[in-house]
Structure 1
Amino acid sequence: MKVLVSPTPEAAARLAAEHLARAAASAIAERGNFSVALSGGSTPKLMYQALRGLDIDWTHVHVYFSDERSVGPDSLDSNYLSAKTELLDHVGVPAGQVHRIQGERDPVQAAADYAALLPAQLDLVLLGMGDDGHTASLFPGTEGLQAGGRVVANWVPRLETWRLSFTFAEINAARERWLLVTGASKAGVLREVHNGIDGLQGHPVAGVHDAVWYLDTAAAAQLTL
């Protein structure tokens, strides 16, 4: 694990945003565009707000999503809507370069269609981690943990709903993977992941390889760095 610890959630989000701006500039200079997959949750909102004030050539950015709930784009539960209101409405990404997952459709077909429109390789996948160790919509004990391909329709029994999610194969195929994790409620799981306890089934985030972890002090409290 490459771990970067900041004193507060806001500071961790700001550091990730600054690094994303640098990654975007480098990718655009080298390849002409920057492809990034965003995630849901509360901590990414802090990063989205920080990104709004940074100098990024958004006209050369393509935005994707690492997962989505089985809802439409206007639902308050939609990861797309969160990114739209907190970031995309405030920056100049052309509408045709924002690629949402169509969570309102049949999940199996929506997963297949999203896999088909992804680029050959994403530059960056941004992820979070739940208190149960899930990342994207790959939850403990679900079939999606073992899924092949690029995008999976993952049934989550404890939530009684479908989720659409990147597979681990897709996440790990990106040029970079970053995890933004904050809060004391995450500290125990982070310690176990760091120490290799419980593995993929217990803590799905363990399936993300060679990631950069952006943590606040509370989340990192039980790590020995």
Structure 2
Amino acid sequence: MNLQVYQTPQATAEAAAEAFAAVARQAVAERGVFRVALSGGSTPKLMYAALQGLDVPWAQVYIYFSDERTVGPDDPQSNYHTAKVGLLDVVPVPAEQVHRMEGERDPNDAARDYAALLPPQLDLVLLGMGDDGHTASLFPGTAGLKLGGRVIANEVPQQHTWRLSFTFGEVNAARERWLLVTGAAKAPVLAEIGRGEGEYPVRQVADPVWFLDAAAAQHLSPT
């Protein structure tokens, strides 16, 4: 595992923000644009705040999302809404370069249309991990774990809902994949993953960089 471990969630978020800024500058220098998919969760909120003061070439940044709840863009549960309030309303990224998943629409239609607007390859996909080992909206036992394509509508019975989500094929096609995971509740699953155990969905992410706080990493064996 490629582990980056920091003492607190705040320190983890700040480190991820610094790394984000660095890869954005590199992508723009090499290819003229930086294409990134954001995610939901608590750690990204801290990262968004840390990004506001950093040197990021926002005029050349294109924003996408790795998953979304089936809610509208103004709903507090929306990943887009969280990113908008915490980052996109503050930094000078052009509005036409922000591409949200339309969670208020029929999920299958929204997934099809979102797949059509994605670029051939993303530079970075940011992900989190739930206590059950899910990532994006690819939950244990759901059909989406085995579906192909780029974006899917995934029924999540344990949440009594549908979600929009990248497939693992889309996640793993990106140039880089980062997992931002904090909190002691994640430690048992991470320990199993570190030992190569458990059928957790997140294990299907290819060669990720893990940004962890000490609480989440507490049961991992030193490498």
* TM, length-normalised to structure 2: 0.99
Task: Give the structure 2 partner of residue 62 of structure 1.
Answer: 62
Q: 1:219, CA displacement in angstroms?
A: 0.3
Unaligned runs of 5+ in 1: none
CA distance in 1, matches of 2:60, 2:48: 17
Q: 1:160, CA displacement in angstroms?
A: 1.1
Q: Secondary structure at the match of 2:163?
A: strand
Say whether 1:85 aligns with 2:82: no
CA distance in 1, matches of 2:204, 2:196: 11
RMSD between aligned alpha carbons?
0.5
Say whether 1:170 aligns with 2:170: yes
Q: 1:159, CA displacement in angstroms?
A: 1.0
Unaligned runs of 5+ in 2: none
Task: Give the structure 2 partner of residue 33 of structure 1.
Answer: 33
Alignment: residue pair count: 222
Q: Secondary structure at the match of 1:219?
A: helix
Task: Give the structure 2 partner of residue 6 of structure 1.
Answer: 6
Task: Give the structure 1 partner of residue 185 of structure 2.
Answer: 185
CA distance in 1, matches of 2:157, 2:105: 19
* TM, length-normalised to structure 1: 0.98
Q: 1:223, CA displacement in angstroms?
A: 0.2
CA distance in 2, matches of 1:182, 1:57: 27
How does 1:140-219 map onto structure 2 within 5 Å? 140-199=140-199, 203-219=200-216
CA distance in 2, matches of 1:147, 1:195: 27
Q: 1:167, CA displacement in angstroms?
A: 0.3
Counterpart residue identity of residue 108, structure 1: N
CA distance in 1, matches of 2:143, 2:197: 20
CA distance in 2, matches of 1:65, 1:161: 19
Cα-to-partner distance string for 1:144-200 (whole Å, 9 max, x where unaligned) = 00010000100000111100000000000000000000000000000111111122x
Q: 1:28, CA displacement in angstroms?
A: 0.1
